Protein backbone atom coordinates (compact mmCIF):
# COMPACT_ATOMS: atom_id res chain seq x y z
CA UNK A 1 0.00 0.00 0.00
CA UNK A 2 1.33 3.41 -0.93
CA UNK A 3 1.91 6.21 1.53
CA UNK A 4 -1.03 8.53 1.89
CA UNK A 5 -0.82 12.13 2.96
CA UNK A 6 -2.74 13.28 5.98
CA UNK A 7 -4.89 16.36 5.70
CA UNK A 8 -3.74 19.52 7.48
CA UNK A 9 -6.73 19.17 9.80
CA UNK A 10 -5.73 15.62 10.74
CA UNK A 11 -2.16 16.71 11.41
CA UNK A 12 -3.48 19.57 13.53
CA UNK A 13 -5.70 17.18 15.51
CA UNK A 14 -2.81 14.77 16.10
CA UNK A 15 -0.55 17.60 17.30
CA UNK A 16 -3.29 18.94 19.59
CA UNK A 17 -3.77 15.43 21.03
CA UNK A 18 -0.01 15.10 21.62
CA UNK A 19 0.11 18.50 23.33
CA UNK A 20 -2.78 17.53 25.57
CA UNK A 21 -1.01 14.30 26.47
CA UNK A 22 2.20 16.18 27.32
CA UNK A 23 0.28 18.65 29.50
CA UNK A 24 -1.44 15.80 31.32
CA UNK A 25 1.85 14.00 31.91
CA UNK A 26 3.41 17.20 33.27
CA UNK A 27 0.39 17.84 35.49
CA UNK A 28 0.50 14.30 36.87
CA UNK A 29 4.22 14.69 37.56
CA UNK A 30 3.67 17.96 39.42
CA UNK A 31 0.78 16.45 41.34
CA UNK A 32 2.85 13.43 42.36
CA UNK A 33 5.61 15.75 43.55
CA UNK A 34 3.09 17.65 45.68
CA UNK A 35 1.70 14.39 47.05
CA UNK A 36 5.18 13.24 48.07
CA UNK A 37 5.86 16.60 49.73
CA UNK A 38 2.59 16.34 51.65
CA UNK A 39 3.39 12.77 52.68
CA UNK A 40 6.70 13.94 54.13
CA UNK A 41 4.94 16.73 56.01
CA UNK A 42 2.39 14.24 57.30
CA UNK A 43 5.14 11.93 58.55
CA UNK A 44 6.74 14.81 60.45
CA UNK A 45 3.41 15.75 61.99
CA UNK A 46 2.77 12.16 63.04
CA UNK A 47 6.19 12.11 64.72
CA UNK A 48 5.36 15.37 66.52
CA UNK A 49 1.99 13.95 67.59
CA UNK A 50 3.61 10.81 68.98
CA UNK A 51 6.13 12.92 70.90
CA UNK A 52 3.33 15.14 72.21
CA UNK A 53 1.26 12.15 73.35
CA UNK A 54 4.27 10.72 75.20
CA UNK A 55 4.97 14.06 76.89
CA UNK A 56 1.29 14.43 77.77
CA UNK A 57 1.22 10.96 79.31
CA UNK A 58 4.43 11.62 81.23
CA UNK A 59 2.98 14.83 82.65
CA UNK A 60 -0.25 13.08 83.61
CA UNK A 61 1.73 10.32 85.35
CA UNK A 62 3.91 12.87 87.16
CA UNK A 63 0.91 14.84 88.41
CA UNK A 64 -0.96 11.67 89.34
CA UNK A 65 2.02 10.45 91.36
CA UNK A 66 2.34 13.79 93.14
CA UNK A 67 -1.35 14.59 93.74
CA UNK A 68 -3.21 11.31 93.23
CA UNK A 69 -6.35 10.95 91.16
CA UNK A 70 -8.54 13.99 90.68
CA UNK A 71 -9.13 16.95 88.42
CA UNK A 72 -7.16 20.07 87.71
CA UNK A 73 -8.61 23.54 87.26
CA UNK A 74 -5.93 25.18 85.18
CA UNK A 75 -7.57 28.61 85.40
CA UNK A 76 -7.43 28.57 89.20
CA UNK A 77 -4.26 26.49 89.42
CA UNK A 78 -6.02 24.08 91.77
CA UNK A 79 -6.02 20.27 92.06
CA UNK A 80 -9.24 18.76 93.35
CA UNK A 81 -9.69 15.22 94.75
Q: Is residue 3 part of a domain?
A: no
pTM of the full structure: 0.67
**52 has a pLDDT exceeding 90:** yes
What distance in Å separates the CA atoms of residue 41 and residue 49, rounded to the nearest whole number?
Answer: 12
pLDDT digits (tens, 9 = 90+) for 70-79: 999 999 999 8
pLDDT digits (tens, 9 = 90+) for 22-41: 999 999 999 999 999 999 99
- What integer pLDDT is reported at residue 1 of this predicted model? 80
Q: Is residue 65 part of a domain?
A: yes
Average confidence (pLDDT) over 39-66: 97
For 5-44, letters b (16+ CB in 10 Å) and e give eeeeeeeeeeeeeeeeeeeeeeeeeeeeeeeeeeeeeeee
- Can you give the residue range of the structural domain that contains 54? 9-80
Q: Is residue 4 part of a domain?
A: no
Q: Is residue 48 part of a domain?
A: yes
How many residues are listed for the chain in this entry? 81
- The partner residues of 72 in beta bridges, in order of sequence, read 79
Amino acid sequence: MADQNLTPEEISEIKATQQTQEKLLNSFGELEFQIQTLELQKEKLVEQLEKYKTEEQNLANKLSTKYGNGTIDVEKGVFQN
